């Protein structure tokens, strides 16, 4: 029985015309393009002030991070000078 279900699963999900789209809807503002190029600590404070549902986490560019999506997290990517290098966004 399990083998048959597994084969059916493979047939469905290996089809190149089959795709899954996941859409997340998170509360509050979800992107801060205006903060790219600003100081990371100030950007983190701004993000948390503008969206009370998130925690801003400062991450040094090149660091390894998890690939999970979370509505309560914004990564603030900074260079060695503490300047924001990417547009901060929920995830």
* Token duo for residue 50: 């503008």
**What confidence tier does 13 reach under pLDDT thresholds 50, 70, 90?**
low
pTM of the entire predicted model: 0.74
- In 3-state terms, what secondary structure has residue 84? strand
Could you give the C-alpha distances from 71 to 4, 9, 20, 33, 88, in angstroms and in order?
37, 30, 20, 18, 13
For the stretch 54-71, pLDDT in tens is 999 999 999 999 999 999
**Helices marked H in the chain:** 2-13, 40-50
* Token duo for residue 1: 């029985």
Mean pLDDT calculated for residue range 26-40? 96
* Higher-pLDDT residue of 2, 59: 59
CATH of domain 28-78: 3.30.10.10
**Average pLDDT value for the chain:** 85
Residue 8 has pLDDT above 80, yes or no: no
Write down the domain spans for the chain.
28-78
Cα–Cα distance for residue pair 27/37, rounded to 1 Å = 25
């Amino acid at each position: 029985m399990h083998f048959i279900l597994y084969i059916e699963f493979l047939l469905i999900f290996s089809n190149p015309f089959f795709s899954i789209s996941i859409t997340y809807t998170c509360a509050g503002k979800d992107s801060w393009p205006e903060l790219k190029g600003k100081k990371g600590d100030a950007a983190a404070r701004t993000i948390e002030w503008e969206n009370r549902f998130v925690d801003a986490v400062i991450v040094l560019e090149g660091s390894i991070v998890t690939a999970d999506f979370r509505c309560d997290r914004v990564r603030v990517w900074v260079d060695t000078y503490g300047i924001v290098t990417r547009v901060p966004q929920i995830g």
